[in-house]
Structures are given as C-alpha cells and as structure tokens.
Structure 1
Amino acid sequence: MLPVHLRLAEIFHINMTGPLTIEEAKELQYCLRENARYCWDCLMIQNQSVLAGATHDHEWQLELQRKLEVLRLTGRVPKV
C-alpha cells in the first residue's frame, strides 16, 4: 500500500463526518489521480507480462516482474 492510498482512506473518513475543505478536496483529487495512474501502470505491466508468457519470453517476463515490484513499492514505474 502506498502513502497516497492511506491518505485517500483518511480523506474518505473525513468526508463521512462532514464536507471537505477546499484543501482536502484538492488533495482528494490528487490522490484519485495518483491512484488511477498507479492502477493503469499495474494493469499495463500485468498485460505485458501475460504477453511475455504467451510468447515464452522469460527474460522480458522477469524484467516486467521487477518493474511491477518497484511500482508496488514506490508508486512509479522504473525507467529502463
């Protein structure tokens, strides 16, 4: 879990008790944007990994597994 996911949960609970401030609403939009990017990147790598497996490209598949691990730890796809 990334810090952005924790903050997204915090803002959700803040919103349960009342309306968000302007700053909280901006932060919510930032967290949602980062979460969408994170999900997109995860799915892109997972789909590429399926393709690598289907083509028996084990080197590519290992590279993609490493990328996915870095993404899950840092929230960013590593540049090769």
Structure 2
Amino acid sequence: MLPIHLRLAEIYHINKKGPITLEEAKDLEYCLRENARYCWDSLMIQNLSVLAGSTHDHEWQLDLQRKLEVLRLTGRVPKI
C-alpha cells in the first residue's frame, strides 16, 4: 500500500463527517491522479509479463516482475 492510498482512505472518512476543505479536495485530486497512474502502470507491466510468458522470454518476464515489485514498493516504474 502506498501513502496515497492511506490519504485517500483518510479523505474518504473526513468526507463522511462533512464537506472536505479546498486543501483536502486538492489532495484528493492528486491522490486519484496518482492512483490512476499506478493502476495503469501495474496493468501494463502485468500484460507485458503475460506476453513475455507467451513468447517464453523468461529474462524479460523476470525483468518485468522486478519492475512490478519496485512499482508496488515505490509507486514508480523503474527506468532500468
């Protein structure tokens, strides 16, 4: 879980109690944008990994698994 996911949960609970502030709304927009990028990157790597497996390119598949692990830990795809 990334810090943006924690912040999304926090803003969700704040919003349940009443309207969020302008600053919280900005945080919400940022977290949603980063979450969308994270999901896109994760799905892209997973799909490429399926392709690597289908073509029996085990080195590429291992590289993609490493990238996915870094993405899950840092929220960014490494430029390896």
The TM-score, its normalising length taken from structure 2, stands at: 0.99
Q: State the partner residue of 2:30.
A: 30
Matches within 5 A, 1:1-80: 1-80=1-80
Q: Percent identity, aligned pairs only?
A: 84
Moved over 2 A (4+): none
TM-score in terms of structure 1 length: 0.99
Q: Following TM superposition, by how much is the alpha carbon of 1:70 offset from its aligned partner in structure 2, in angstroms?
A: 0.2
What is the CA distance between 1:40 and its match in structure 2? 0.2
- The CA RMSD measured in Å over matched residues stands at 0.3
Unmatched tracts of structure 1, length 5 or more: none
Summarize deviations over 1:14-52 as a string: whole Å, max 9, x none: 000000100000000000000000000000000000000
Aligned length: 80
